[in-house]
Amino acid sequence: MEPEHLILLQKILVVLFCVALFWKIIKYMCGLLNIEKDPVTVLVTGQIGYALVPMIARGAMLGPDQPVILHMLDIEPAAEALKGVKMELIDAAFPLLRDVVATTDAVEACKGVNIAVMVGGFPRKEGMERKDVMSKNVSIYKAQASALEKHAAPDCKVLVVANPANTNALILKEFAPSIPEKNITCLTRLDHNRALGQISEKLNVHVSEVKNVIIWGNHFSTQYPDVNHATVKATNGGEKPVRELVANDNWLNTEFITTVQQRGAAIIKARKLSSALSAASAACDHIRDWVLGTPKGTWVSMGVYSDGSYGVQPGLIFSFPVTCEKGQWSIVQGLKIDEFSRGKMDATAKELVEEKSLAYSCLN
């Protein structure tokens, strides 16, 4: 080999060595920069938390790379059971779980909380008047709101699950005035998911192919599950309206609505227990989409503070279709509302106005 070729080969080898070395340095520096995220502190109240906390610890709520600290709050008679749940969480060795606090003290539970999932509440028992239940829950949410107000992180996001969820959220907002009103929501994602499930069963398609159903109003028997803007993914990659594919307006306007409205009662009748699993899953969906964002072209249902959109009285916590981006939700605007839908939306809004009045009478 001629000397000049040898020199050229040596130069090429030196360049290759330098590139490889430079690449290793870059990878090393990237490794140093890849610092683990700070843990997010999540509060869960109430005994349905047994279904919810392992989902949070596995990353179902905040993602597979987000460490969490779990705070669990329950009533004094459940203190021993709460200790047992803490033991199980430790035994499960969840990689994302950094710490667990199990307590019956609201102040300790609310310290530094970034996300609060309020599942605990007083259930309606046989023979109880609606006002009696409301009075019990007003008392509970007034106390917990005060603890959040004083001890939670300033940007704390709150999801109320316990019924009456919309009105409990409203009471919480009243007694935690420093928490932004856009940070206080209630769970209607369970009803939203139930509606998706009913449509997927009816059309024999996978539930992931159905999107943009809406739950309007109250998480109660007057809620309005609306499919007028819902679509199903078509085989050609496009989307087809649910109404067109179902081709049965009578079913969509009657049986479909009542099935979604009464699904919780049907599960209690079948299991003799409440729908803890699906409610926990829906709570994870709600927070995950709120924090991490909704997919483009897709909305979800959330109980949020009404700004007067779609003629709903401002100041109610009302379920709307929303999109989420960068930790903020926005009500989807400009959807056409037909006469049938208007009547249903007005009926559920009227019920929420009555609930609000009842709750405030309990406060007084």
Residue 113 CB coordination number (10 Å): 23
DSSP-derived secondary structure for 273-325:
S--HHHHHHHHHHHHHHHHH-PPTT--EEEEEE--SGGGPPTTSEEEEEEEEE
160 known ligand binder: no
Q: Is residue 161 annotated as involved in ligand binding?
A: yes
Q: Which two tokens stand for residue 276?
A: 């803890």
Q: Which of 183, 117, 112 is nearest to 151 (CA)?
A: 112
Known binding residue 194? Answer is yes
137 in a labelled binding site: yes
Q: Is 212 annotated as a binding residue?
A: no
- Which string of b and e fits 163-177 if b means at least 16 CB within 10 Å? bbbbbbbbbbbbbbe
User: Among 181, 125, 140, 177, which residue's Cα sits nearest to residue 157?
Assistant: 181
DSSP category for residue 246: H
CA dihedral 171, 173, 178, 181 (to 10 degrees): -170
192 part of the active site: no
Catalytic residue from among 5, 151, 206, 219 = 219
- Residue 74 known to bind ligand: yes
Write out 77-104 in H/E/C secondary structure.
HHHHHHHHHHHHHHHHCCCCEEEEEEEC
In a 10 Å sphere around its CB, with 0-12 CB exposed, 13-18 middle and 19+ buried, how is residue 241 labelled? middle
The burial of 152, by beta-carbon neighbours within 10 Å (0-12 exposed, 13-18 middle, 19 or more buried), is given as: buried
Catalytic positions are 219
- Residue positions forming the annotated binding site for NAD(+): 74, 137, 161-163
